[in-house]
């Protein structure tokens, strides 16, 4: 049996496994992805990145949550995968386009080694049919939604994947872990949703705690940071350039004049893992 290898990277403590189909052949199945991402019986990760898929001059990526479900987008995952592509010689340290289930994104390396990466995440969408939303009319911006018996100041938007930003005066990991399951699985969100608890520190700084669908509580989220910055800017609480602080570190988010969202941050390699022959 040929050796199956995976590369492990992290972006601010949000760790992913990279499975390159050009180098390791493994049939993707929900149970296998769950086993690989399991921290007790597998390698352990917040998700799996499958690619590069090379066809017709395009570079494509598939993103999987640790429960085996497929995600449209992942901000940290995009930076990690860009770093992997540079490390392995698939791309040069210049701007390139990557295709995902959530659409295409432009990625730029800000240094030769690819340690700092800027991603054009595109324009956010507030239309309910793009998330989708159920039982809610029009845009949900600075609205009151009820979760687990309480009303919360909520903004919902898609930044390639669906996000629910809840503004709070005080946020903690414990609050995110307690409320997250109720928001992720709420009837408003038939496809589930990612949640960010957001606190405004000042006009240029936000703090968030994150609970991601299919993953649970996470130390950092690129799309979550973008969603929080966009929601806070839409409400007039911050400007167009914001630093979003998370348990794993910080990301710089910029909202362009045309509404495009740019995320800048690091990605680091942890190592290479060779799976035992009988593991799967």
pLDDT of residue 18: 98
Euclidean distance between CA atoms 221 and 225, whole angstroms: 6
Note the pTM of the prediction, 2 decimals: 0.94
pLDDT at 173: 98
**Pick from 194, 215, 184, 177: nearest CA to 16:** 215
Q: In the chain, what are the domain boundaries?
A: 5-118+266-274, 128-259
* Residues across the chain: 280
In 3D space, the residue among 58, 127, 52, 81 whose CA is nearest the CA of residue 222 turns out to be: 81
Let me know the angle formed at the C-alpha of 159 by 82 and 65, rounded to the nearest 5 degrees: 60
DSSP, res 148:
T
Domain 5-118+266-274: top CATH class: alpha beta
pLDDT tens-digit readout, 59-95: 999 999 999 999 999 999 999 999 999 999 999 999 9
Q: Which of 170, 178, 138, 171 is nearest to 156 (CA)?
A: 138
Backbone dihedral region of 236: left (phi > 0), alpha (psi from -120 to 50 degrees) or beta? left
- Would the CATH topology of 5-118+266-274 be identical to that of 128-259? yes
pLDDT band at 1 (very low <50, low <70, confident <90, very high): low
**Which secondary-structure segment (H or E) carries 198?**
strand 194-202
Q: How far apart are CA 25 and CA 7, in angstroms?
A: 14
Q: Which fold has domain 128-259?
A: Diaminopimelate Epimerase; Chain A, domain 1 (3.10.310)
Q: Is 24 helix (H, G, I), strand (E, B) or coil?
A: coil
pLDDT digits (tens, 9 = 90+) for 171-185: 999 999 999 999 999
């Amino acid at each position: 049996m040929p050796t199956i290898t995976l590369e492990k990277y992290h972006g601010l403590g949000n760790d992913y496994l990279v499975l390159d189909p050009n180098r390791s052949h493994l049939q993707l199945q929900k149970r296998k992805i769950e086993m690989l991402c399991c921290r007790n019986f597998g390698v352990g990760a917040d998700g799996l990145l499958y690619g590069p898929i090379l066809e017709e001059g395009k570079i494509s990526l598939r993103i999987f949550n640790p429960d085996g479900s497929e995600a449209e987008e992942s901000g940290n995952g995009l930076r990690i995968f860009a770093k992997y592509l540079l490390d392995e010689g698939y791309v040069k340290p210049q701007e390139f386009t990557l295709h995902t289930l959530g659409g295409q994104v432009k990625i730029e390396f800000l240094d030769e080694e690819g340690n700092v990466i800027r991603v054009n995440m595109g324009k956010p969408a507030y239309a309910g049919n793009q998330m989708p939303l159920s039982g809610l009319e029009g845009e949900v911006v600075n609205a009151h939604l009820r979760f687990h018996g309480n009303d919360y100041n909520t903004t919902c938007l898609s930044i390639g994947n669906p996000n629910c930003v809840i503004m709070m005066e005080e946020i903690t990991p414990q609050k995110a872990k307690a409320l997250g399951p109720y928001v992720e699985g709420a009837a408003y969100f038939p496809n589930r949703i990612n949640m960010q608890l957001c606190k405004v520190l000042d006009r240029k700084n936000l703090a968030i705690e994150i609970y991601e669908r299919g993953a649970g509580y996470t130390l950092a989220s690129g799309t979550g940071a973008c969603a929080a910055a966009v929601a806070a800017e839409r409400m007039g609480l911050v400007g167009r350039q914001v630093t979003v602080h998370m348990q794993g570190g910080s990301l710089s988010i910029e909202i362009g004049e045309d509404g495009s969202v740019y995320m800048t941050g690091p990605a680091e390699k942890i190592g290479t893992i060779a799976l035992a022959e009988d593991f799967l």
